[in-house]
Every structure is written in C-alpha cells, then in structure tokens.
C-alpha cells in the first residue's frame, strides 16, 4: 500500500519566556495555533483533527488539559488526541499527526505542543516520591551528568567541548526572535566561568525553564499544492523506546536512538547522513549531548563526535549546522521542545528560518528524546516531495 | 471495508480482575500478567509486535512520567516502536490503528491501566476541569454526573426508577463476568448526590486491559474469528458544561456517523457509561433499538478502572465476536466530565 505524502505548510511559535503571566494556558496555545494557521493561510474550519502533546500534567497541575483546551484549539466537533511520551513528546505528537495524514484518515491536521512551566514547579513535578522505586531527587541534570562523565572517559574528549556547544547555541539564539535566552553579552569565558551544577555540567550548559507553545499544520499532497508558501515534506519519521534501567543499557549511546535514526534514514533514502543532511535540530538539554548525539545519530564514528564540535563543523556556518535556532539550551518549554526541533527543521527546508537560516538547506533532521534517554522521536524533512 | 486502506481486527483481548484495592502491586506488576496473557493468545512475542501504544494518567499514579515504568513490563528490548497517550486506552488503540493504516506496522499491542485506590478519584478528577475558573471550586465527578442526570429527568428522558433498572441490569449481567468488580445483585443504595444513588455510580477500582490488533490475512492466521474494526472515530465537545446540552451527546453521534454505525443494525453495544444516566444519553445518540444487548459484560457500572474502562469496552465487544456471540457490535469509550469526549468503533465478524 502507498502512503499519502505529508507536508508541513504552517508553523507557529510563541516568543518563549520564563513566565507568560499575561495569558492563560489556553491563551498560550491559541497564540501558537493561530500563528501556524496564519502562516498556512488557513482558518480553523480547514482543520480536520487536532493532535496535542505536552510533558507531565503535574508541570501545570492540570489533569489531561486537552479536555479544557478543546475550545481554545477549535477542536469542538473534531477528533482530538493527546500524546505523552516524556521529553520526546513534541516529536512524537508531530509524528502521530503526520500518520493521520499519511494513512489518509484526515487531510489537514493541527498539531501543537506546549508547556507553561511558570504555572507550577517542574522540579516538584518530577520529584514526587513513589513507593518501591528509587528516589530521583537530583533533577534531570543529576541523572544525566554521570552519563556525560562516562562519555568523556570513553572518548577522551577534553573538558572544553561542553562550553563550546553552549557558547554556539546561545549565539545562534540571538538570531532567533522566538528563543527564550537572548544573552547579548555571551562569551566563551562567561560560559566557562559559570557555576558547576552537576559536575561536569555548568550552569550555562543547561537549558532554561520556559513557557511556550509550538504548532504545525500538516496536510496531504492536495493541501500542499494550495499552500501559498513552500512546504516541508516528511521523508521519514520514527519512534523507538527501550527500558529506563537495565544492565545492558548504554546510557551514552542508547540503542533506541541508533535504531530510530536508522529507520528514518532508511525511509528517506539517506546512506551518508553527514553529507546528505544540511541542518540538524537536535535535542540537547545539556551541552555535552551534542557530541554524544552526533555519534548516536550516525554523523560521527563512535568516539569522534566531540571532534566535529571542536572543529566548528556544527556552527551555523559549519558544514553540519546543529541547532541553528539556539536549541533546547536556549529555549525549553519541555513538552514543546521536541516539536520546536521538528518545526525548526521544517523552517530550514522551507527557507523560512530568517537570520538563522542555513543557506540552501534541502534536508534537515528534527530529533527529540525523553525519559531516562529511553524514548526517541525523529523526522527528516525535505524541500522536495519524496519520490517513493 | 473500503472505508480505509487496510482491514484491521482485534485478534486478542485480556484484562485483569478489577479490584477495589491493589496495595500489594505496583503498576508494572499489575500490567505484566495481562500483557503475557494477551500475547500468549496470539502466540506473538513482544519483539514481533510492529507497534505498541498505551494509555494511562499520571494523576492516578501520583507521579510524573508514570508510564515510563510500565514500559519495563512490556520488555522493550531490543528497542520497540512505541507511543503513549495520556488518555483512556481506547485512544491508544486508535493511534495504533492509524499506525497500521499507514502500512508501517502489521500488528499492534495496546494496553492501559489505572490504579484509583491510592487517592480519592472524585477529588482527583476535579483537577481535570478548567484550572482557573472551575477546578478551584472542586466540583467532583459524581456531582457533575448528577447535574447531567437531573437535566435528563427534568427533560422527561428518564426517571429514577428507570435509572435504577439500568444499574440492576448491569450488575446482574456482570454475574457472568469473572473480572467485574461488582457482581450479582447489588442494592441501589442511598443517594450519593441527588438524583444519583450508589447503584447509579461506578465502583472505584484498579485494573488493566490489553488488546492485540492485526491487519488482513495476518489477523486471520492469529485468530479464528477476528473482530474487524470496520469503523472508528472520536470527537470532542466544549469543556464548559454551560456550553453543552447535557441531555444529548453530539460528539458521540458525529463519531458514530463517521464510524458507520447507522449503516446497518448492531446486535450488541458496549458503552462506556460510568453513570446509569449516561447510558440514556448514549442510547439516544447511537439510536440503539430496544433489542440491542447493552453492556452484557456489566459495563462500567460493574468495573470502571480509570483509563482502561474504554479499552475494555472494545475488548469485550471483540471477545463476543471471537466467541461467535455477536456479529456487529458498537463499542464506545468516553473521557472528560459528562461525556465530553467520545470514541465509537464498529466491530464485525466475518460473514459465514
């Protein structure tokens, strides 16, 4: 059987900030959705279904908020699905929406992901005690720092690499009007002088807590034909999961991430990702995850990822720009962060990324992960309609 | 069958016994036996399943990312293609069905679970309401259902004795369901919130459900009498109760139209109606004839494990086709206060 080609024809984001006191949760998501519709030059009536994602409900203190958000997202009388796959959720949500079009169940779908972290306290939300399970009170950084340390020991990477990533991403964010952190006075020395939080992760090498939403309009071939702006075409998309904790798990380079990337490349006909992909929006909440994921995603051989970062390959003007938008390190409304990666990849191949546009980008990868590096979601988008 | 690209059937269904409390079990321990049982029914191993999808709610578990642990029960190694909805498992089944329609998977494992016992589910569900204007008032789920029941009685659609009969029929039918929480004759009891008595309200309990889906000839190989999903759709309505006519369920009706319910008679209906009064609304929206067997399993009035009760309706409907007891069945799942969101599926057996 053949699948319907899926096109991204509208993208909308809010300006991500620490606290949007001026809008409710409904107001926040409506803003991103309205911008995506305006970008696609469509109206609420053109939308057949809504697929929404966010990270845990405890982050806002609202149980299953999609019920309350049905009105704000024009979903009344329509199908509405709520996806939740931890930190990868923004990516998974876009893929579920994409499948609705690919399966020819719906023609035009609004997909949206959000987090309004200022409504509650994310560290509290992540730290509720659970019987029979080990307490995890160190926050996300405390969980991931030992794996970064393992990567450094395994590859011999010098301890300067993490700060290079942070310095690059924060400079890229200055070119992205929607990015949360706009640190105009950023220098490499300032990153390196920032306090050590979870050795070897410094304060400036961690993501902020943001309020924000991201929306996309996905449609079929006929919808793309009517689109006033260039479409980004989905060439491949996949999700993979593995258990959180078990003896055989490689926390430095999880098998689920490798398998997920391999599936996406197979679908997209990519055999040499380093040469054939023009831009990568990678989920990097702690700076060291850039070199780690470069290896996990097949852009570098094992142990070699940090060399690409150190050589400037991943800079905005390098030959494999990673996170031209500034990435999760500059903007992290958790539930939306994965969808922002997917949307920014689409912006690149549509040529709509503004000041952080990678010139001539034809194929871009959007990447998300979540849980204890156990959930992965990725898509590869291209400027051309896929041939197969 | 031409409605969709591929024929997809429920080929196996399993559920736990639904219990008032399961203090001695973690969610993983609750889920694992049911997963083993549903896979054993098909002979498939976890690694042979094309796509896995689950439904659950962090607010019942009392912690964030609760589903990450139950994934361990699946045995996701080597890594699997997997997703999760923060919804009843009926919507996880819908996501899995869409995945099979794309051709990226030929089989799917769907499961969902809920442990209501650690908290007060009436209080917990208030957190589902508009967080700024309604949730601070803590209107509980039984009170909201009572508003709907009152509206139905005032509109002349039912009365208290008719509601009592629904409760009595459901509990009597559950006598034949070994998994049900409340079985056999159960007294209608005292008023909980007028006009609803204990017998009009669902029991609070813990439970798990799991289903295996398969496409085309593979379904025929895995199951003697596959329950084909010939139509499936879901719709949502406005959240605010003041914006809705509580005596009607337009979302159920739209979903039923898209699922093809009205194209031919059904012999059986498995309706996710946690309150007796909601069965009245759903019967009307689905246009069920008087001779349709409604909730022969006992329905949600006999066992209502949150997040699994909707998937159980699809599973029970499919199991009747597997056993040759039904031929064209409508299965329904609901979510949100007073039937805000509804999923409708039509399942059919092969014609002899």
Distance CA B215, CA B105 (A): 9
Please name the member of A3, A100, A255 whose beta carbon is closest to the beta carbon of B78.
A255
Read off the pLDDT of each residue in A33-44 and give the average, rounded to a whole number: 98
Specify the higher pLDDT residue, A387 or A283.
A283
| CA distance to partner chain B, nearest, from residue A253 (Å) | 13
Asked if the bond preceding A39 is cis, omega within 30° of 0, the reply is no
| CA distance to partner chain A, nearest, from residue B201 (Å) | 21
Residue at token pair 């699948």: A3
B136 in contact with chain A, both atoms CB, cutoff 8 A = no
Neighbouring C-beta atoms of residue B119, cutoff 10 Å: 14
Q: What tokens does A189 get?
A: 């020395």
Exposure of B6 in the CB half-sphere (CA atoms within 13 A):
26
Tell me the pLDDT tens digit for each residue of A234-292: 999 999 999 988 889 999 999 999 999 999 999 999 999 999 999 999 999 999 999 99
Could you give the C-alpha distances from A313 to A207, A286, A310, A328, B3, in angstroms and in order? Answer: 22, 19, 8, 19, 50
| pLDDT value at B2 more than 60 | no
User: Quick check: A223 and A1 in contact, CB under 8 A?
Assistant: no
Question: Which helix (H) or strand (E) segment is A283 a member of?
Answer: none
Surface-to-core class of residue B346, CB atoms within 10 Å of its CB (0-12 exposed, 13-18 middle, 19+ buried): buried
B6 in contact with chain A, both atoms CB, cutoff 8 A = yes
B86 in contact with chain A, both atoms CB, cutoff 8 A = yes
Neighbouring C-beta atoms of residue B187, cutoff 10 Å: 12
DSSP per-residue string spanning B75-126: T--S-B-EEEESS-HHHHHHHHHHHHHHTS-SEEEEEEEEE-TTS-HHHHGG
User: Quick check: A82 and A112 in contact, CB under 8 A?
Assistant: no
Per the document, the length of chain B is 352
Surface-to-core class of residue A2, CB atoms within 10 Å of its CB (0-12 exposed, 13-18 middle, 19+ buried): exposed
B249 in contact with chain A, both atoms CB, cutoff 8 A = no
pLDDT-derived band at A135 (thresholds 50, 70, 90) equals low
Of A75, A350, A380, A101, nearest in space to A227 by CA:
A350
pLDDT-derived band at B62 (thresholds 50, 70, 90) equals confident
Residue B141 has φ and ψ, to the nearest 5°, of -65, -35
Helix, strand or coil for residue A306?
helix
B242 in contact with chain A, both atoms CB, cutoff 8 A = no
| CA distance to partner chain B, nearest, from residue A86 (Å) | 6
User: Quick check: A81 and B87 in contact, CB under 8 A?
Assistant: yes
| pLDDT value at B1 more than 50 | no
Of B352, B296, B281, B285, nearest in space to B329 by CA:
B296
With CB atoms and an 8 Å threshold, state whether A240 touches B79. Answer: yes
B241 in contact with chain A, both atoms CB, cutoff 8 A = no
Exposure of B214 in the CB half-sphere (CA atoms within 13 A):
24
Q: What tokens does A78 get?
A: 């329509």
User: Quick check: B174 and B182 in contact, CB under 8 A?
Assistant: yes
Residue of B25, B56, B85 best to disrupt the A interface, most CBs of A under 10 A: B85
Distance CA B27, CA B39 (A): 18
Could you give the C-alpha distances from B67 to A255, B33, B111, B337, in angstroms and in order? Answer: 20, 16, 11, 23
Read off the pLDDT of each residue in A102-106 and give the average, rounded to a whole number: 98
pLDDT-derived band at A124 (thresholds 50, 70, 90) equals confident
Q: What pLDDT shows up at residue B131? A: 97
pTM of the model: 0.98
Please calculate the CA angle A315-A321-A324 and round it to the nearest 5 degrees. Answer: 85
| pLDDT value at B186 more than 90 | no
β-pair partners for B344: B233, B332
| pLDDT value at B185 more than 90 | no
Which residue of chain A has the CA closest to B131? Answer: A62
Find the radius of gyration of the CA atoms of chain A. Answer: 19
Helix, strand or coil for residue B237?
coil
With CB atoms and an 8 Å threshold, state whether B68 touches A374. Answer: yes
B46 in contact with chain A, both atoms CB, cutoff 8 A = no
Distance CA A112, CA A94 (A): 8
Q: What pLDDT shows up at residue A24? A: 98
User: Quick check: A6 and A109 in contact, CB under 8 A?
Assistant: no
| pLDDT value at A136 more than 90 | no
Surface-to-core class of residue A333, CB atoms within 10 Å of its CB (0-12 exposed, 13-18 middle, 19+ buried): buried
Read off the pLDDT of each residue in B41-64 and give the average, rounded to a whole number: 94
With CB atoms and an 8 Å threshold, state whether B79 touches A86. Answer: no
Distance CA A340, CA A188 (A): 26
Q: What pLDDT shows up at residue B63? A: 84
Surface-to-core class of residue A141, CB atoms within 10 Å of its CB (0-12 exposed, 13-18 middle, 19+ buried): middle
Please name the member of B4, B77, B124 whose beta carbon is closest to the beta carbon of A242.
B77
B228 in contact with chain A, both atoms CB, cutoff 8 A = no
Find the radius of gyration of the CA atoms of chain B. Answer: 19
Tell me the pLDDT tens digit for each residue of B297-348: 999 999 999 999 999 999 999 999 999 999 999 999 999 999 999 999 999 9
Of B279, B206, B285, B221, nearest in space to B29 by CA:
B206
| CA distance to partner chain A, nearest, from residue B126 (Å) | 8
Distance CA A277, CA A257 (A): 17
Tell me the pLDDT tens digit for each residue of B63-111: 888 898 899 889 999 999 999 999 999 999 999 999 999 999 999 999 9
Q: What tokens does B169 get?
A: 């029929």
Specify the higher pLDDT residue, B246 or B188.
B246
Tell me the pLDDT tens digit for each residue of B137-169: 999 999 999 999 999 999 999 999 999 999 999
Q: Which of residues 169-208 of B touch A (CB under 8 A)?
A: none
Read off the pLDDT of each residue in A208-231 and give the average, rounded to a whole number: 98
With CB atoms and an 8 Å threshold, state whether B68 touches A371. Answer: yes
Tell me if ipTM is over 0.85: yes
Helix, strand or coil for residue A141?
helix
CB within 8 Å of B243: residues ≥ 6 apart: A71
Read off the pLDDT of each residue in A116-134 and give the average, rounded to a whole number: 76
β-pair partners for B229: B347
β-pair partners for A112: A52, A215
Could you give the C-alpha distances from A268 to A236, A272, A375, in angstroms and in order? Answer: 5, 11, 21
Q: Residue A239 has what DSSP assignment?
A: E
| CA distance to partner chain A, nearest, from residue B294 (Å) | 25
Tell me the pLDDT tens digit for each residue of B247-272: 999 999 999 999 999 999 999 999 99
With CB atoms and an 8 Å threshold, state whether A81 touches B5. Answer: no
Q: For B290-302, give one letter per residue: b (16+ CB within 10 A) or e.
A: eebbbbbbbbbbb
pLDDT-derived band at A87 (thresholds 50, 70, 90) equals very high
pLDDT-derived band at A113 (thresholds 50, 70, 90) equals very high
Helix, strand or coil for residue B322?
helix
Distance CA B202, CA B170 (A): 11
Give the largest CA-CA distance in chain B.
Answer: 58
Tell me the pLDDT tens digit for each residue of B212-232: 999 999 999 999 999 999 999
Please calculate the CA angle B41-B46-B52 and round it to the nearest 5 degrees. Answer: 100
Q: Which of A119-123, A250-254, B1-5, B70-74 has the lowest mean pLDDT?
A: B1-5
Distance CA B272, CA B266 (A): 16
With CB atoms and an 8 Å threshold, state whether B94 touches A82. Answer: no
With CB atoms and an 8 Å threshold, state whether B79 touches A64. Answer: no
With CB atoms and an 8 Å threshold, state whether B98 touches A99. Answer: yes
Mean pLDDT for all residues in chain A: 95
| CA distance to partner chain B, nearest, from residue A152 (Å) | 25
pLDDT-derived band at A356 (thresholds 50, 70, 90) equals very high
| pLDDT value at A2 more than 60 | yes
With CB atoms and an 8 Å threshold, state whether B76 touches A242. Answer: yes
Please calculate the CA angle A266-A269-A274 and round it to the nearest 5 degrees. Answer: 95
Of B74, B75, B56, B76, nearest in space to B66 by CA:
B56
């Amino acid at each position: 059987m053949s699948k319907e080609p899926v096109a991204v024809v509208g993208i909308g984001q809010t300006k991500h900030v620490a606290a949007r006191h001026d809008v409710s949760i409904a107001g926040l998501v409506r803003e991103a959705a309205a911008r995506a519709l305006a970008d696609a030059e469509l109206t609420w009536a053109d939308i057949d279904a809504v697929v929404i994602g966010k990270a845990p409900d405890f982050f806002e203190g609202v149980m299953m908020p999609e019920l309350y958000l049905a009105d704000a997202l024009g979903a009344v009388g329509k199908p509405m699905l709520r996806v939740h796959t931890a930190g990868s959720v923004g990516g998974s949500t876009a893929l579920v929406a994409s499948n609705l079009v690919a399966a020819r169940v719906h023609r035009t779908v609004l997909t949206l992901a959000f987090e309004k972290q200022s409504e509650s306290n994310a560290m509290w939300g992540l730290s509720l005690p659970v019987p029979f399970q080990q307490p995890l009170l160190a926050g996300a950084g405390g969980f991931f720092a030992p794996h970064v340390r393992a990567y450094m020991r395994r590859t011999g990477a010098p301890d300067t690499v993490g700060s290079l990533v942070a310095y690059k991403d924060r400079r890229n964010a200055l070119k992205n009007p929607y990015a949360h952190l706009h640190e105009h006075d950023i220098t490499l020395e300032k990153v390196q002088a920032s306090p050590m939080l979870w050795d070897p992760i410094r304060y400036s090498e961690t993501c902020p807590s943001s309020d924000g939403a991201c929306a996309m309009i996905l449609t079929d071939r006929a919808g793309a034909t009517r689109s006033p702006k260039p479409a980004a075409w989905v060439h491949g998309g996949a999700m993979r999961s593995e258990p959180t904790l078990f003896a055989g798990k490689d926390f430095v380079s999880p098998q689920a991430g490798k398998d997920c990337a391999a599936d996406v490349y197979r679908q997209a006909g990519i055999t040499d990702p380093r040469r054939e992909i023009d831009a990568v929006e990678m989920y990097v909440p702690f700076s060291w995850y850039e070199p780690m994921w470069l290896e996990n995603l097949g852009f570098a051989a094992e142990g070699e990822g940090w060399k690409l970062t150190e050589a400037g390959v991943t800079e905005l003007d390098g030959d494999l720009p990673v996170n031209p938008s500034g990435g999760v390190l500059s903007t992290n409304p958790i539930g939306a962060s994965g969808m922002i990666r997917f949307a920014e990849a689409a912006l690149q191949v549509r040529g709509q990324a503004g000041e952080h546009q990678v010139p001539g980008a034809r194929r871009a990868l959007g990447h998300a992960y979540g849980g204890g590096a156990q959930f992965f979601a990725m898509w590869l988008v291209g400027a051309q309609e896929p041939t197969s | 069958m031409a409605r969709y690209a591929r024929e997809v059937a429920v080929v196996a269904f399993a559920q736990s016994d639904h219990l008032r409390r399961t203090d001695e079990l973690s969610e993983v321990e609750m889920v694992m036996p049911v997963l083993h049982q549903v896979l054993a029914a098909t002979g498939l191993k976890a690694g042979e399943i094309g796509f896995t999808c689950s439904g659950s709610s962090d607010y019942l578990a009392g912690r964030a990312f609760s589903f990450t642990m139950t994934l361990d029960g699946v045995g996701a190694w080597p890594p699997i293609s997997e997703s999760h909805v923060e919804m009843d498992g009926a919507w996880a089944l819908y996501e899995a069905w869409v995945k099979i329609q794309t051709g990226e998977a030929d089989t799917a494992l769907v499961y969902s679970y809920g442990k209501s016992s650690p908290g007060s589910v009436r209080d917990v569900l208030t957190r589902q309401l508009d967080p700024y204007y309604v949730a601070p008032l803590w209107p509980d789920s039984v009170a909201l259902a009572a508003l709907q029941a009152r509206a139905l009685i005032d509109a002349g659609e039912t009365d208290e004795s008719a509601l009592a009969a629904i409760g009595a029929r459901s509990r009597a039918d559950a006598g034949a369901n070994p998994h049900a929480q409340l079985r056999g004759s159960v007294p209608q009891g005292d008023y909980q919130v007028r006009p609803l008595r204990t017998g009009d309200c669902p029991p609070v309990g813990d439970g798990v459900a799991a289903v295996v889906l398969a496409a085309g000839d593979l379904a025929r190989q895995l199951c003697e009498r596959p329950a084909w999903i010939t139509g499936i759709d879901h719709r949502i309505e406005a959240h605010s109760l003041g914006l809705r006519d509580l005596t009607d369920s337009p979302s159920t009706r739209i979903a039923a139209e898209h699922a093809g319910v009205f194209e031919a008679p059904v012999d059986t209906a498995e309706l996710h109606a946690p309150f007796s009064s909601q069965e009245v609304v759903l019967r009307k929206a689905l246009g069920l004839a008087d001779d349709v067997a409604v909730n022969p399993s006992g329905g949600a009035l006999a066992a209502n494990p949150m997040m699994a009760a909707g998937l159980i309706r699809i599973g029970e409907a499919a199991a009747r086709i597997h056993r040759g007891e039904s031929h064209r069945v409508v299965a329904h799942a609901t979510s949100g206060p007073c039937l805000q969101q509804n999923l409708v599926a039509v399942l059919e057996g092969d014609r002899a």
